Amino acid sequence: MNQTDTRLLRVAIEVARRSVANGNQPFGAVLADAQGNLLLEGENTVETDRDCTGHAETNLMRKASRTYDREFLAGCTLYTSAEPCAMCAGAIFWGNVKRVVYALAIEPLYDIIQDHPNNPSLYMHAAEVLGRATQPWEVAGPAPELLEEASEIHIDYWGNL
């Protein structure tokens, strides 16, 4: 990870904060081009849209695939506040974004959420899903320097439900 990755992960964490402010779960994702320019943002909308597939990364990939072609997306990076779930990793695969960077890994996230009924989870790493692709995908994370920042929003949210 580099300074651009850290900067854009912080943007994804801010999107997660905005997601909570808008009545949703604390997940956020952003898409950047190969030069690190911010292109799109995606909030979690599970609660407000009453849509179990309204995860930040999946919402972002819906926007991205409507906005950009697959070849362009192959050179982009998706930054996310927490490691993508299996569904979101699948959306990233189908959208052809070849690089994923996340702040908070599954293990500390699930230590916070535990078995909360509002967030049933498949305990599977994004690299496990994307590692099954016929072409290489890069999955980078977690970001140790952002562990406290990325965890804080989840501790506040899941502890107050």
Residue numbers annotated as active site: 57
Using an 8 Å Cβ cutoff, are 66 and 40 in contact? no
User: In what helix (H) or strand (E) does residue 18 lie, and over which residues does it extend?
Assistant: helix 3-21
* 26 φ/ψ angles, rounded to the nearest 5 degrees: -85, 70
Cα distance between residue 94 and residue 123, in whole Å: 21
Q: Interior CA angle at 142 toward 155 and 52, to 5°? A: 55
Tokens of 18: 């905005």
Cα distance between residue 92 and residue 159, in whole Å: 29
- CA gyration radius, the chain: 14
Tokens of 46: 């599970």
